[in-house]
Structure 1
Amino acid sequence: MCLVYPVTAPQPVAPGQCKTGEHALRKTLLLSLGLVAAVSAPMASGQAPPALVQVEQVRSAALARNLPLSGRVHSRNDADMSMTLAGELKWVLEPGTEVAAGDVIAELDQLPIELRKLELEHLVERERINVNYLDKELQRLRQLREDNNASERMLDEGSMQRDASRMDIRSLEARIDQVNDELRRSQLVAPYAGVIAERHKEAGEYARPGDVIARVVDPTHLELRFEIPVVYQKRISRGQLVNFAAQGSQLLGDTPQSFQARIRTIIPTANANSQTFQVRADIDTADTGAVLTGQLVNLQLSMASADTSLQVPRDAIVLRGEGKFVFRIGDDDTAHKVVVTVGEGAADWVSVNGDLSPGDWVAIRGLERLRDGQTVNRQGS
């Protein structure tokens, strides 16, 4: 800094004022030199005023990374229902119809089956009449045998005919049971509560055994299915929570609503092409009304590392020409530059290697003009 002082021409001084003027001039010069020294002292020493910084502690923890994945919502009860009999469909419920467990979804024309049942019942009645007749005939033969008017052979033949007729009745009754089973199977029954999602056959169409008639979906018991790379197999476990949100809502300008699912099943079989394995997670029943079966979702899966590492906030890392470093704030509120090697990161934290210990304070704000050895005023400690 250059100081310029105005110089004035000497004024005439009376003989009695000479010493007094010299004394005043000398005093003014000494005061000016003191001001110059006061202004130049801080600049000459190179000291900067204390910097205002925000700080955060170094931590030692396992690095938890959020793995972004895509998945799809599925119902735990989702089946294509088919008939086990052939016949003409009498009626089929419409798509969207809610059904309870045991409700009839579709029904075949039962008239041909009922006619066969009626025929068998008539045959049973006829055989019962025949059995009654043979019982009476056998009693007469026994009376004749006691009087020696009938041979033992005739008695045996009568007994055999009566027993054979009884067996015919049992066979006919078994056939009636079979027809009753056909009548039962001529009705397609919902095995669980749900909704008719699809109808593949209409009333009047001929259905063969195995033909899909309708699809029934349970909308209340939902699960999330997604694929995970095999390299993360050891980092997930049953019972782990998964955060997910439906795809597409952001296109309407809406903030996607977040839901949670809990991992129930880990299928330990890798896909040979994608090198992934499937995971299934149960969706909370309270959230089942907000997502639909078949809906695509984005999910975040927390993948915790097995090993712990030193971690600092991302904002603590300073990138300059001499490398990457952080400012450790000592107990005397002095900043010390520590060179670090940056590793993996998750969210706002990164793992580092350097001369740091858990619990050390590092600066995260006010780093722009901070210098090694500078005194700081900390915030956030």
Structure 2
Amino acid sequence: MKKRTLIVVIVAMFAVIGIVLANNKKELDAKKVVVDRSKIPVSVAVAKVTMQTLDGNLRLPATLEPAKTADISATTGGKIVSLRIQLGSHVSMGQVIGSVDTRQQQLGENDAQEALRKAEKDYQLSKELYEGNAGTAQGVKDAQHALDAARIRVQQSGQKVGDGAIKSPISGIITTKNGEVGEYANPGATLATVVDVYSLKAVVFVSEKDVYQLKIGRPAAIAADVLPGKTFNGKVSFISPVGDENHNYRVELTVDNKAAELKAGTYTQVNFDLGSSTNALQMPKIALVEGTKNPYVYVVNGEQVIMKKITVGREVGENIEVLNGLNEGEEIVTSGQINLTNGSRITRTR
């Protein structure tokens, strides 16, 4: 009797456990159900695409780069015996800023000079013997060849000695220094870097629509926020014949920086005067979901939005020119884009 009662109790316990586990599974499965939020409106701010005046000035952000950068190296190998530069030193083109040990080359030059003097005497002697009928024309000819060869050897050995001088290939400021006195310099190894800070170049990327209005030599005004009230003269020196994937073209301008007021790497603004003002379709820049690299916006269509790829032009303050993809009067989302996908429902903020 007791045994039967125990069995009934155990079965009842397993039944209760099974019911509890089943109820827990139902609760977990209910939590796993994905809530469909596609019908929940996203709160957004919108603005209209409008036709506005676009003046004749093309303003573009630019960065300054050195017009010339060069490495200073030794032409011939040897131990560095002098190097008269430090970081920040001003150097001129062709200036001797150091030297390597050329004593071995100087010995070679002395030997070549001695050989030349002997060749000159031999030639003179052969010539006198020939004129006195004691020598031959071939002897004079051989002596002449020996004299010519000796002159070439003197020239070459003198060049090797001269190559011991370490010279700056351009004018500018020393920005790196790798060599020190006492070290061995391999031919062509970089001992220092010199940057021409007096002639900078401003690099801008110009849209396809505007680049055809630029020509080599066209002037531009360049300004930097760090130097308020000052402008610098620039001139177009290069227009890339190939655009990037966004149809923007690299344009370089030489910048007059004789006083070295500007530094390479400074953020600047380039202003091209393209003539009379025109009307252009514009929209707020903040409507661009991923910026100008991948320009697209969300256009309001009733209570939903449609994602549209567009083509943009110049930036005008807080606005940007629309070249293709939108029409005047269309409404676009300017806030809340992060929560949107194509076809999302929206509600406008008040």
- Residue 168 (structure 1) shift: 0.5
Q: How far apart in 2 are the matches of 1:105 and 1:271?
A: 42
- Residue 74 (structure 1) shift: 2.5
TM-score with structure 2 setting the length: 0.56
More displaced, 185-194 or 174-183?
Answer: 185-194
Query: What is the correspondence of 1:342-353 to structure 2 with a 5 Å cutoff?
Result: 346=316
Helix, strand or coil: the match of 1:216?
A: strand
- Residue 235 (structure 1) shift: 4.2
Equivalent of 2:72 in 76, 81, 91 = 81
Helix, strand or coil: the match of 2:198?
A: coil
2:269 matched residue in structure 1: 299
Equivalent of 1:227 in 196, 200, 205 = 205
The answer (yes or no) to whether the contact 2:70–2:169 under 8 Å persists in 1 is: no
Write the deviation string for residues 131-188 of structure 1: whole angstroms up to 9, x where unpaired.
344345445545xxxxxxxxxxxx5xx3312321222011111111112222222213
Q: How far apart in 2 are the matches of 1:84 and 1:102?
A: 13
- The letter of the residue matching 2:151 is E
Write the deviation string for residues 161-216 of structure 1: whole angstroms up to 9, x where unpaired.
23212220111111111122222222132344322222222222222332222222
Equivalent of 1:172 in 133, 150, 153 = 150
Q: How far apart in 2 are the matches of 1:268 and 1:83?
A: 35
More displaced, 113-122 or 302-311?
Answer: 302-311
With over 3 angstroms needed to count, the CA separation of the structure-2 counterparts of 1:229 and 1:80, relative to structure 1, is: farther
Runs of 4+ in 1 over 6 A off after TM superposition: 348-351
% of aligned pairs identical?
15
Query: What is the correspondence of 1:129-208 to structure 2 with a 5 Å cutoff?
Result: 129-139=121-131, 141-142=133-134, 158-208=136-186
2:291 matched residue in structure 1: none
Unmatched 5+ stretches in structure 2: 1-51, 282-313, 322-327, 329-350
The answer (yes or no) to whether the contact 2:67–2:200 under 8 Å persists in 1 is: yes
* Alignment coverage as a number of residue pairs: 241
With over 3 angstroms needed to count, the CA separation of the structure-2 counterparts of 1:348 and 1:277, relative to structure 1, is: closer
With over 3 angstroms needed to count, the CA separation of the structure-2 counterparts of 1:87 and 1:305, relative to structure 1, is: same
Q: How far apart in 1 are the matches of 2:279 and 2:186?
A: 65
2:223 matched residue in structure 1: 244
With over 3 angstroms needed to count, the CA separation of the structure-2 counterparts of 1:200 and 1:263, relative to structure 1, is: same
Helix, strand or coil: the match of 1:164?
A: helix
State whether structure 2 residue 114 is matched by structure 1 residue 122.
yes
Cα RMSD of the aligned pairs, angstroms, is 4.0
Write the deviation string for residues 289-346 of structure 1: whole angstroms up to 9, x where unpaired.
33212x23042545859884499xxxxxxxxxxxxxxxxxxxxxxxxxxxxxxxx994
The answer (yes or no) to whether the contact 2:201–2:253 under 8 Å persists in 1 is: yes
Equivalent of 1:101 in 90, 93, 97 = 93
Query: What is the correspondence of 1:24-63 to structure 2 with a 5 Å cutoff?
Result: 63=55
Write the deviation string for residues 68-122 of structure 1: whole angstroms up to 9, x where unpaired.
42x3222333211233322222222322222233320231212111111100111
Helix, strand or coil: the match of 1:126?
A: helix
The answer (yes or no) to whether the contact 2:72–2:169 under 8 Å persists in 1 is: no
Helix, strand or coil: the match of 2:94?
A: coil
Structure number with larger C-alpha Rg: 1
Write the deviation string for residues 14-57 of structure 1: whole angstroms up to 9, x where unpaired.
xxxxxxxxxxxxxxxxxxxxxxxxxxxxxxxxxxxxxxxxxxxx
- Residue 124 (structure 1) shift: 1.6
1:378 matched residue in structure 2: none
Query: What is the correspondence of 1:313-324 to structure 2 with a 5 Å cutoff?
Result: none
The answer (yes or no) to whether the contact 2:66–2:195 under 8 Å persists in 1 is: yes
Unmatched 5+ stretches in structure 1: 1-59, 143-154, 250-254, 312-343, 354-381
- The letter of the residue matching 1:79 is A
The answer (yes or no) to whether the contact 1:224–1:261 under 8 Å persists in 2 is: no
More displaced, 269-278 or 121-130?
Answer: 269-278
2:293 matched residue in structure 1: none
Helix, strand or coil: the match of 1:269?
A: coil
With over 3 angstroms needed to count, the CA separation of the structure-2 counterparts of 1:76 and 1:237, relative to structure 1, is: same
TM-score with structure 1 setting the length: 0.52
